[in-house]
Structure 1
Amino acid sequence: MSRSAPRPEHILNRELSWLAFNERVLEEAEDPTLPLLERVKFLAIVSSNWDEFFMVRVAGIWRQIDAGITQPTADGRTPRQVLEEVSRRIHDLARRQHELFHGVIKPRLGREGISILKPSELDPAQADFVRAYFENNLLPLVTPLAVDTGHPFPRLNNRMLVLMAELEAETLSGEDAFPVSELAVIPIPTPVSARFLRLPSEPGRHVFLMLEDVVRMHLDQVFRGYRIRNCHALRVTRDSDLPVEEDPNEDLMKTVEEHLRSRRRGAVVRLQYEQGLSPNLLEMLIEELELSPEDLYPSEGFAAFSDLFQLYAQLDLPHLKDAPMPPLPVPQLEAAGSVFEAIAKHDILLMHPYQSFDDSVVRFVREAADDPKVLAIKMTLYRISTSSPIAAALERAAERGKQVAAIVELRARFDEEGNIAWARRLEKAGVHVVYGMLQYKTHGKACLVIRQEPEGIRRYCHLSTGNYNERTSRLYSDLGLFTARREFGEDLSNTFNVLTGYTRPPALHQLILAPQHFRPGLYARIEREREHAKAGRPARMILKMNALVDPPMIQRLYEASQDGVQIDLLVRGTCCLRPGVPGLSENIRAVSIIDRYLEHARVYHFANGGDPETLLASGDLMQRNLDNRVEIAFPLVDPIVAEQVLEMLELQLHDTIKGRVLAPDGSVARRGLDPAWPVLRSQYRSYEHALLQSGVRAITQKLPDALDADI
């Protein structure tokens, strides 16, 4: 009899495993072989990831502690123990990040003619430029907030950079006398002004001043009659999770909007501040914000490294960035007169970002909107970009009289406001908008187009591991499938009926849905591999996902390993399974790929005794995906398509440049250049394969050199 969950010592802590993933991201910033501005970008990614980690995961730990919960987690740690270890680890990594930026990256930027100056380093012309910029662009936006008995300490918004200034009033009398304050908070208008102000400089140089320094230099214009004794920047991170408790009698959109407003009022879980902040002010902040020692993060003159994204974007210096890898055409679509003609012939695998999302998925929806033979479009939308061409095409289709249904998930974390705006706009155009299911987030990715053809109604399907978001499609590595197979069309029709009308579907032919069938479907396939292993038949699984967290699923994998099933894991982020433990998981190896694109595809491959089966899915092996979300998994029926995906998996398992191997204790190490292994960078090799399939020969002169160097 299988145990429902593994023993605590067989489970790695979820939060610490995630921090190990982000350490791998930091290692990319530390990699001297990367172009310099790509290292800057990875520094920004690290900080952006930490922001979300604090807003969600650390905030969740604090909620458990505040609720008096002492029950150990799956790995045997109490919430307090987890918090202490997380705090120690992040403080170590933050110090490492600061040392890297100030000791390595910034000097190398300087050697490339890129400088971030201090106010004292400005020449007279630059100082005049900064003064004019402040007076014309910032001064009207600056709102000083006094702190005294008549002005309580202001609410500091989540992730907003502010200055805290200690003031000393000049002696005034008569008509010039005015109430005085010894302390003020000045929000920096980063939402409307760039964090890095480009200054005039000689040709070939790129000189910047940080926005907080621009304001700090001119506080005398804000606080007339005062002397600025000292001034330091700080930034708070607040609990921003959105635990919407749905009431079936309430409107879901209104409920989500109310929680979005409350998000700004979440408890502070981190204070970042410039070193040199006076002990008295720090004590006051600790008291006002109800902070603990674990929440304090001093910085060396630069908080919010996530804003380095702006610096990266402002510098058009190709020699300091990765060689371009422009998205390539999909050969089957290029050769056909219409996307429907191509899909009708055979299944088509899409590999983003190597192949163009705009020329495939966006084209699919646009053609459906404009084609008079198309009767209806049904689609799930989880993360919608502000200027989404897909949502705009749905809007146009409805205005042209087509039946359009959109399942817009309002609870997509940190994208709620954009989704709400599009939901309202689509409703106004006549789209049947459904806000997902009350009990479950709708995380599955699917689009169904119903078309009238001479032989009757035909259904065209797109299924994917990634979101319908053209922006992230250029940054995330995902897989998609076009098919016109009858069984897929029937399954997808029934799936949308469930989502829009809560109908009870008949048994599905091909699709596997969570929360009903995803977990048992995977369990059944794992058990099938165990039986093959016991019978001496080929037994192997390759499981690729973003996170492996679910304890019962981990236990099933342990038991399969013990029966002789060979298990290869490709886990980008959190992995709570301990691979390679004798007697427990010696037949399991785990690899993590961190490279220029974020690995986002979910693939579940089973050798099945020589009759292999490969599934693509929208969900990871986490309890939320298996039990608490609407997820869609689907098989690759076409053997050619399945073989393409298996080839990609094998490339990633053998990546010697960007592949890291997970050890039993949770540590991760680069594989290194073993003479027995060919030099291989899997993302570049995947692009090379797409390049050959597309027939494109001339992209840039630099790209083939980069490929030859790393493959």
Structure 2
Amino acid sequence: MKPAAIRPDAGPHAASLSPNVSGSLSVGQGASRECHGTVTDEVDTVIFQPSCSPVPLAPESVPMPSLSADPSRAGEASSFALLDRDHSILSFNERVLDWAHRPEVPLIERLRYLCIVSSNLDEFFEVRAAPHLSAGSAGDRKGTYTVESFERLSEAAHTLVARQYALYNDELMPTFATHGIHIVSHGERNPAQRKWVSEYFEREVRPLLIPVGLDPAHPFPQVANKSLNFIVRLGGKDAFGRENPIQIVKLPRVLPRLIKMPAKVSDGKTLFVALSSVVRAHLASMFPGREVGDFSQFRVTRHSDLAVDEEDVKNLRTALRQGLQHRHYGQAVRLEVSASCAESLASFLLAQFNLPPQALYRVHGPVNLARLTQLIDLIGEPQLRFPPYAPSFPVTLSPVQSFFERLQRGDVLIHQPFESFDGVLAFLRESVLDPQVLAIKQTIYRTGADSELMDLLREAVRRGKEVTVVVELKARFDEEANINWAEMLESIGAQVVYGVVGLKTHAKMLLVTRREGKQLRRYGHLSTGNYNPRTARLYTDISHLTADPALTADMEAVFVHMASQSRLPKLNRMWLAPFDLHKNLVARIDALGQAAASGEPTRIVAKMNALTDEEIIGALIRAGQKGVKIDLIVRGACTLPAQVPGLTDNVRVRSVIGRFLEHSRVFYFRHGEDESLYLSSADWMNRNMMRRIELAWPVTDPNLRQRLIDECLVAYLHDGRDAWDLGGDGIYRRVDHDTHPGEAGASPAIEAHGAQAALMGRYASRGNHRDASGN
């Protein structure tokens, strides 16, 4: 009998758990929560009580701007206008910032969310701001990037930054003070503290500082991306009788941005001083014989997206390494200064960096909130943190059973981080140590600078196995680590390839070939996320272990294609970008639309990180207009205008921001009693579909498929705590369980505490009751 998974005949908001699972996603005693790499409180404490009211985003009367879609690609839905992608990214950061506003969240974790938003904004400016800035400077009035788009984006970014610093100054720092934790300014230090700071400056800081006076022989120095600097205006004359009033002081990155004061001068409190405050207090001593006038700290953000013409370089690895050397000095896109910075100094800096006034950000506090993560590391107050969460070993695996024996009985899913990534490492470890394993093939996108997985691959080479690694050198901000891994593996004899020219290899695959009697058998691992043990503890992802001959044959074909550049054969089950993934998705959506138009029950539920591809959006709108009930769980950027009357009444978009960063991609399609579910490495973005090697593959085992429906889709559609719904006006509003009760059949625990907390409770309970055999 078919499980009652997601009802195809229900409205766009409806989705019920299957009978055998309904209500089982409950929060158990001692479960905890996390958002974007942070850890939260136990369920029986106040943190799990629904908020009385959501913290509003920027003014609700200002929706995200829209952009016209290409009518030729949208078909019957040609009249719609897309939401603006960059404003949608900023809106995502507003939703993350909401966690920093919540008083029920432990204080250190609130600060962590604030730092995450600051780090996200840095990357936003490094990657997304340059074309808007160029259009604004050039006075462009037509096209995707215009003067108007630059001004709107600048206004939204300034609003978000102002909210960050208001929260930092008005709520977080005063609350830290009630716990005896202070960042002490120069004016607040007593004589003993000033003496200690002065000694620290002379001992640790002054030897590393070389002020640069500006004159014809000393032009404005190169200022590295996101570095901390001071600009100082001096009175009087220098040693040669010249006035040269402007001095630039660079603060090296090796210096900590926060310094903890010793107990002997802290009066029983936990006191810190900011590096910028230390330098500011000693500027006069750095310029003897001169009078220090106006001064300010400043920080410039530069465009940092590497552009390498792969068709025109002989060695991609060498070209990228050279490009990395110039990344720190790309086009300036943002200037941050102290709020009190004199107008003359701010104008001078804007001119030096060739920036318009809208690119200036005056901040009431440190110019880099992201560096406050050092404060998080230095505070040892456990009551101000989330209790740690320990993922269980995968519930369908046994630590004492061979993976090869287990996979011969059927596929295995690992739901990270509720289940441990150690299961994946254990599979690779067994493959490396097994003398019957002859070959290992793996893709590497982001694995980190220190990786047990890479050590295992190195050991596999040492043991004489054929190791082929497809390393993506262009993984943004991980280029250097990947280049280093590639060089290491090549040096010991592994076969290292860099994918297909012009395409990023974003697919996540591990394929093991093993001799079993007189035949060779393949075992594979596919994933929605990276082979990175650190992010595997912080991101939600699905790992799929399989010995299915059809699926592993597809994996082999893709590896051969990437290594040899040979023609790709027709695959059995996989959809592969840039070949047929996009086409098959659009065709599947259109087919459901035709079925719905004929009166047949249909349903689409898809979970992803971003939705910006115009053709897929057009297909979704067409299908919704024909009667398909569509729910889209999109964590970040989404340009589909949901819930617009007469256009997308049947399409709902929701974003869930929880303890962990939502990262899994799960696509569900239902036509009558026929249902299919795909996992994927790809978001529904043009870059993923057309400029990357991406995979989507079906989960055919009905029990595993139902598990994914319940845990990755239904749970999130019923989330009454951490979900935000996108309205027809382009504004996200947080779902309030008190005023927005869930639908019939929903688990009360999910409604009240959120999907992630419920899943943590489920797996904590399972993990606590498993013996060594995995039962």
TM category (shorter chain) comes to: over 0.9
What value does the CA root-mean-square deviation take over the aligned residues? 2.1
Check the 8 A contact 1:369/1:396 in 2, yes or no.
yes
By how many angstroms is 1:66 displaced? 6.0
Q: Which amino acid aligns with 1:692?
A: S
Is this contact kept in 2: 1:3–1:555, CA < 8 A?
Answer: no
- How far apart are the structure 1 equivalents of 2:233 and 2:645? 61
Of the candidates 762, 769, 772, which is equivalent to residue 689 of structure 1? 762
Give yes or no for contact 1:654–1:680 (8 Å, CA) kept in 2: no
Aligned to 2:180: 113
CA contact (8 A) 2:136 2:150 kept: no
Task: Tell me which amino acid in the other structure corresponds to 1:298.
Answer: R
SS state at 2:255 partner: coil
1:424-503 to 2 correspondence within 5 Å? 424-454=487-517, 456-503=519-566
Q: Distance in 1 between matches of 2:451 and 2:297?
A: 36
1:616 aligned to which of 664, 679, 682: 679
Please state if 1:54 is matched with 2:125: yes
8 Å CA contact 1:445, 1:618 repeated in 2: yes
Equivalent residue, structure 1, for 2:716: 652
Q: Which residue of 2 aligns with 1:701?
A: none
In structure 2, the CA distance between the partners of 1:434 and 1:8, relative to structure 1 (3 Å rule), is farther
Q: Distance in 2 between matches of 1:617 and 1:680?
A: 28
How does the TM-score come out when normalised to structure 2? 0.85
1:38 and 2:109 correspond = yes
Q: Distance in 2 between matches of 1:288 and 1:574?
A: 33
Q: Which segment drifts farther, 64-73 or 531-540?
A: 64-73
Match of 2:436 in 1: 373
**CA 1:233 to 1:670, structure 2 compared with 1: closer, same or farther past 3 Å?**
same
Change (3 A) 1:138 1:630: same
CA displacement 1:153-201 (0-9 Å, x = unmatched): 11111000111122234787xxxx6877422111122x22321111123
Residue of structure 2 equivalent to 1:333: 397
Match of 2:60 in 1: none
Q: Partners of 2:78 and 2:344 in 1: how far apart?
A: 47
How far does the alpha carbon of each residue in 1:29-76 deviate from its partner, in whole angstroms, 9 at most, with x for none? 111221111110111111111111111111132345567765433xxx
- The answer for the alignment partner of 2:73 in structure 1 is 4
The separation in 1 between residues aligned to 2:416 and 2:286, in whole angstroms, is 50
Residues 690 and 153 (structure 1 numbering): CA distance in 2 closer, same or farther, change over 3 Å? Answer: same
Q: How does 1:374-389 map to 2 (within 5 A)?
A: 374-389=437-452
- Matched to 2:651, the amino acid is I
Question: How much has 1:528 moved relative to structure 2?
Answer: 2.7
* Paired position in structure 1 for 2:37: none
1:119-268 equivalences under 5 Å are 119-169=186-236, 181-189=244-252, 191-201=253-263, 202=266, 205-247=269-311, 250-268=314-332
SS at match of 1:494: helix
CA–CA distance in structure 1, aligned partners of residues 205 and 241 of structure 2:
25
**Conserved? CA contact 1:543–1:568, under 8 Å:** yes
Show CA shifts across 1:527-559 (max 9, x none): 232233234333001111111101111110001
> How far did residue 248 of structure 1 move?
5.0
The offset of 1:437, in angstroms, is 1.3
CA 1:203–1:503: 2 relative to 1, 3 Å: farther
Q: SS state of the match for residue 578, structure 1?
A: coil
Distance, in Å, in 2 between the alignment partners of 1:146 and 1:696 is 68
- CA change 1:323–1:440 in 2 (3 A) is same
Q: Is this contact kept in 2: 1:529–1:609, CA < 8 A?
A: no
Alignment of 1:504-519 (within 5 A): 504-519=567-582
Find the aligned partners of 1:456 and 1:302 in 2 and give their Cα distance: 64
SS of the equivalent of 1:332 reads coil
Partner of 1:706: none
User: 5+ unaligned residues in a row in structure 2: which ranges?
Assistant: 1-70, 743-747
Q: Work out whether 1:416 is the aligned partner of 2:479.
A: yes
AA partner of residue 408 (structure 1): V
How far apart are the structure 1 equivalents of 2:258 and 2:175? 18
Aligned to 1:523: 586
Structure 2 CA distance for partners of 1:345 and 1:224, relative to 1, 3 Å: farther
Q: How many residues align?
A: 687
Q: Secondary structure at the match of 1:242?
A: coil
CA distance in 2, matches of 1:456, 1:125: 78
After TM superposition, the structure 1 stretch with the greater mean CA deviation from structure 2, 580-589 or 615-624, is: 580-589
Q: TM-score, normalised by structure 1?
A: 0.93
- Of 463, 482, 498, the residue aligned with 1:400 is 463
Equivalence for 2:63 = none
| Whole-angstrom distance in 2 between the partners of 1:348 and 1:683 | 21
Cα distance, 1:69–1:516 mapped onto 2, change above 3 Å: farther
Q: Deviations over 1:402-430 (max 9, x none)?
A: 11111111111111111111111111121
Displacement of 1:697 in angstroms is 8.7
Q: Distance in 2 between matches of 1:403 and 1:645?
A: 34
Contact 2:311 2:502 in 1 (8 A): no
CA offset digits 1:103-152 (Å, max 9, x no partner): 11110011111111102222333333323332332222223222223210
How far the C-alpha of 1:489 sits from its partner, in A, is 1.2
Pick which of 337-346 and 63-72 moved more: 63-72
**Does the 8 Å contact 1:410/1:436 carry over to 2?**
no
Q: Is the 8 A contact 1:170 1:227 kept in 2?
A: no
Aligned to 1:152, the other structure's residue is in SS state coil
Per-residue Cα deviation, 1:324-369 (whole angstroms, up to 9, x for no partner): 2112111233354333333332211111111111x11222223322
Provide closer, same or farther for how the CA distance between residues 8 and 208 of structure 1 changes in structure 2, counting only shifts above 3 A: farther
Matched, 1:575 2:638: yes
Q: Report the more deviating stretch, 274-283 or 42-51.
A: 274-283
Do structure 1's residue 633 and structure 2's residue 696 form an aligned pair? yes
Residue pair 2:392, 2:420 contacting (<8 A) in 1 also: yes
Deviation of 1:228 (Å): 2.6
Q: 1: distance between equivalents of 2:206 and 2:402?
A: 55
Question: Aligned residues: percent identity?
Answer: 38
Whole-angstrom CA distance in 1 between matches of 2:356 and 2:697: 47
2:385 matched to which residue of 1? Answer: 321
Within the alignment, does 1:280 sit opposite 2:351 as a pair? Answer: no
Q: Are the counterparts in 2 of residues 194 and 211 from structure 1 also a CA contact under 8 Å?
A: yes
Pair 1:124–1:456, CA change in 2 (3 A):
farther
Deviates further, 222-231 or 441-450? 222-231
Q: Is the 8 A contact 1:332 1:342 kept in 2?
A: no
Partners of 1:204 and 1:428 in 2: CA distance:
54
Work out the CA distance in 1 between the residues paired with 2:171 and 2:290.
39
Task: Provide the C-alpha distance between the structure 2 equivalents of 1:582 and 1:682, rounded to a whole number of angstroms.
Answer: 29
Q: Indicate if the aligned counterparts of 2:524 and 2:545 stay in contact, CA closer than 8 A.
A: yes
> Match for 1:32: what amino acid?
P
- Distance between the aligned counterparts of 1:249 and 1:219, measured in 2? 48
Unaligned runs of 5+ in 1: 699-711
Counterpart code for 1:141 = L
State the alpha-carbon separation in 1 of the partners of residues 125 and 621 from structure 2. Answer: 31
Secondary structure at 2:311 match in 1: coil
Aligned letter for 1:687? M
Q: Secondary structure at the match of 1:231?
A: strand
CA contact (8 A) 1:148 1:182 kept: no
Q: Does 1:295 align with 2:359?
A: yes
- Measure how far apart 1:370 and its partner are: 2.5
Cα-to-partner distance string for 1:482-533 (whole Å, 9 max, x where unaligned)? 1111111111110100111112132111111100011111112112322332
Shift of 1:3: 4.9
Partner of 2:16: none
* Cα offsets for 1:446-469 (capped at 9, x unmatched): 111111223521211110111111
Distance of 1:221 and 1:67 partners within structure 2: 44
